[in-house]
Amino acid sequence: MPQAEHSSSHGEYRPGLSHRVAQQLSVIYAGGEISPQMEALAVELLDIMRLDDDMPQPDPQINHWDQRDALMITYGDSIQKEGEAPLQTLKYWLDHYADGCITGVHVLPFCPWSSDDGFSVIDYLQVNESLGDWNDVLAIGAKYNLMGDLVINHCSSASQWFANFLRNEEPGKDYFATASPQDDLSLVVRPRTSPLLREVEAIDGTRHVWCTFSHDQVDLNFRNPEVLKRMVEIVRHYLDNGVRIFRLDAVAFLWKKPGTSSLNLRKTHEVVRLLRTLIEHARDDAMIITETNIPNQENLSYFGNGNEAHCVYNFSLPPLLVNTLVTGDCFYLKQWMMSMPPPQHGTAYFNFIASHDGIGLRPAEGLLSDEELQTLISTMRRFGGHVSYRALEDGQNKPYEINIALIDALQGTTAGADEYGIERFICAHAIMLGLEGIPGIYIHSLVGTHNDQERLESTGQNRAINRHQWQLKELEAQLGDTDSDHAQVFSGIMNLLSIRQKQSAFHPNATQFTLHLGSSLFGFWRQSSDRRQSIFCVSNVSNEPEYLQLTDINLIEAQDWSDLISGEDCNKQQMLLEPYQTVWISNRRDHR
């Protein structure tokens, strides 16, 4: 593939795609100097991705989303029907219950795996036969924006790659990160308490492999360009099979260097930039989202300069929002909101308040005080939750995440459980759906699934408490019973989604400003890009009725204002908000 030279409309020289890729590779592997080896590797990567050297650079400021977009997060087998592949059952459920309000689906790892419910991948190029096959994946991707996990930091010790590593054979010979017990690893940041290094016996002697997460999840060695090539092959395969959004799992830990934290290193960021270059040239509406469960400012760094992730998980939102609703005080949430920069066009926040893991506490570091965190943890324990820990440099363990179903996390306040659980739960989603960004709703939040204590006890894994598996017939019965918690939650969230997707002021990149309405009323203002629609989003986050003084939010008197949710007229002095009631006060109701 020869290197091409191009001229822009101004006539200046613009190198071809292979040159741009070679530049990125040189930062990763050659100290920034483009060598013949880097040029040759660039050509190989373009061949793998089936890219031409003269392809134009995609516009990084194009938004591949709007207010109609919302994703559901689910395991491939969260809904099951006897005698049917779970991926087929999942598509059936989406088509019959969520079509029109859910535009995308994140199917958590669907490859063969050995542990961690899919995040210890045995073979990236196969679909777990217990879920279905690639045709089932393609069928979902043909109708919904499909997010797939690129488990990029590590793979399973049961993989063929690792077996070959132990035998010193290809492919796999130098695919895994190793270190010496004598290396300075004291600064390495990890989310687990197990030993970092695992001793294994290889054909050429004892090796110590690097295991950020568990000893079954062995970290890949990106110092070896062959590992990068294998990942690019996997990306191409996923694109061919309907994946449009690539979730880079645990990518912050990717590059290892003894004597450092081995977290968020420069070369890690450059690998993200390289993958973006390749992916967006292969499909101009494809997206990268980085899964970086780390403190807030570090997380935001994965936007780069509009040249890394299209989206970053808004990891600080879940702990701050849950804290707000169980304390009845929005101070910390409001303080954080005011510090968040508006994402530039071409990038967006991925908002979520529940996931398959838990409520991460690292993203709350520096945002919630230690006392506030301890109160939150003790409250969640009273509501049936568990706590997972990580190891610190001094050998101490620190809470890393709270494992609990969100509906149970919000069953009460710090004073205990009360009768406002469903209202509080719907309020949490109303707040999330109003915020700038793209919403992601975990399936067990969408249908109000409670703590699965039986699954937790049978697996011994804290995270299993929020990974229930529904039988389709049982779930349909619950959703058909209008008196059930599940039906009330589902209809409430779907109604909010239906309203949201019609409002131009709820575009993920529309203007947002935080309102100052006291500790019990959390509010923010959204405005559409054409400035024609304004929405004042206000939620009573307490268990007492609160008056909203409409004069405090500066409604323009010449316009008619109404609440999009209740339909109530807002052209008056004040509104009484019941406990956990949300209003979306708008000067117009868009019907896009």
Residue 91 has pLDDT above 80, yes or no: yes
Residue 465 has pLDDT above 70, yes or no: yes
Instruction: State residue 423 phi and psi, 5-degree precision.
Output: -60, -40
Q: What is the pLDDT of residue 592?
A: 42
146, two tokens: 């499909």
Q: Just give the CATH number of 511-586.
A: 2.60.40.1180
Residue 5 has pLDDT above 60, yes or no: no
Instruction: Give the amino acid at 506.
Output: F
| Closest CA relative to residue 374, chosen from 321, 323, 333 | 323
Kindly tell me the sign of the dihedral angle through the C-alpha atoms of 500, 504, 507, 512. Answer: negative
Mean pLDDT value across residues 140-144? 98
Mean pLDDT value across residues 31-59? 96
383, two tokens: 């509501």
Q: What is the pLDDT of residue 588?
A: 77
Using a 10 angstrom Cβ sphere, with 0-12 exposed, 13-18 middle and 19 or more buried, the burial of residue 19 is middle
Q: What is the pLDDT of residue 14?
A: 58
166, two tokens: 């132990």
Alpha helices (runs of H) in 510-586, residue ranges in sequence order = none
For residue 10, name the pLDDT band (cuts at 50, 70, 90): very low
213, 191 contact by CB (below 8 A): yes
Mean pLDDT value across residues 34-51? 97
d(C-alpha 90, C-alpha 80), whole Å: 8
Q: What is the pLDDT of residue 395?
A: 77
Q: What is the pLDDT of residue 1?
A: 35
Task: Compute the mean pLDDT over every residue in the chain, rounded to the nearest whole number.
Answer: 95
348, 438 contact by CB (below 8 A): yes
Residue 280 has pLDDT above 80, yes or no: yes
344, 387 contact by CB (below 8 A): no
Dihedral of the alpha carbons of 26, 27, 33, 39, in degrees to the nearest 10? 10
37, two tokens: 């080896």
Please report where in the chains the tokens 């939102």 appear, as a residue: 317
95, two tokens: 């088509």
Residue 275 has pLDDT above 90, yes or no: yes
Q: What is the pLDDT of residue 295?
A: 94
For residue 392, name the pLDDT band (cuts at 50, 70, 90): confident
Mean pLDDT value across residues 24-43? 96
d(C-alpha 144, C-alpha 105), whole Å: 6
| Closest CA relative to residue 565, chosen from 514, 512, 508, 493 | 493
Q: What is the pLDDT of residue 556?
A: 80
Dihedral of the alpha carbons of 129, 135, 136, 139, in degrees to the nearest 10? 170
| Closest CA relative to residue 454, chosen from 466, 440, 442, 472 | 466
Residue 83 has pLDDT above 90, yes or no: yes
For residue 551, name the pLDDT band (cuts at 50, 70, 90): confident
Residue 4 has pLDDT above 70, yes or no: no
Q: How far is CA 55 from CA 39, 44, 237, 420, in A?
A: 17, 16, 20, 56
Q: What is the pLDDT of residue 312?
A: 98
369: left (phi over 0), alpha (psi -120 to 50) or beta: beta
Residue 591 has pLDDT above 70, yes or no: no
What share of the chain in percent tops pLDDT 90? 93
- Known catalytic residues are 249
| Closest CA relative to residue 73, chosen from 350, 434, 299, 284 | 350
Q: What is the pLDDT of residue 453?
A: 96
For residue 590, name the pLDDT band (cuts at 50, 70, 90): low
**Ranges for all domains in the chain classified under CATH 2.60.40.1180:** 511-586
Q: How far is CA 546 from CA 411, 517, 521, in A?
A: 20, 11, 8
User: In DSSP terms, which residues pair with 523 in a beta bridge?
Assistant: 538
Instruction: State residue 555 phi and psi, 5-degree precision.
Output: -70, 130
Q: What is the pLDDT of residue 237?
A: 98
Instruction: Give the amino acid at 517.
Output: L
d(C-alpha 205, C-alpha 197), whole Å: 16
Residue 13 has pLDDT above 90, yes or no: no
If you ran DSSP here, which 8-state letter would residue 96 be given?
A: I
For residue 3, name the pLDDT band (cuts at 50, 70, 90): very low
Q: What is the pLDDT of residue 558?
A: 74
For residue 554, name the pLDDT band (cuts at 50, 70, 90): confident
Q: What is the pLDDT of residue 152?
A: 98
Round the CA-based radius of gyration of the chain to a whole number and report it.
24
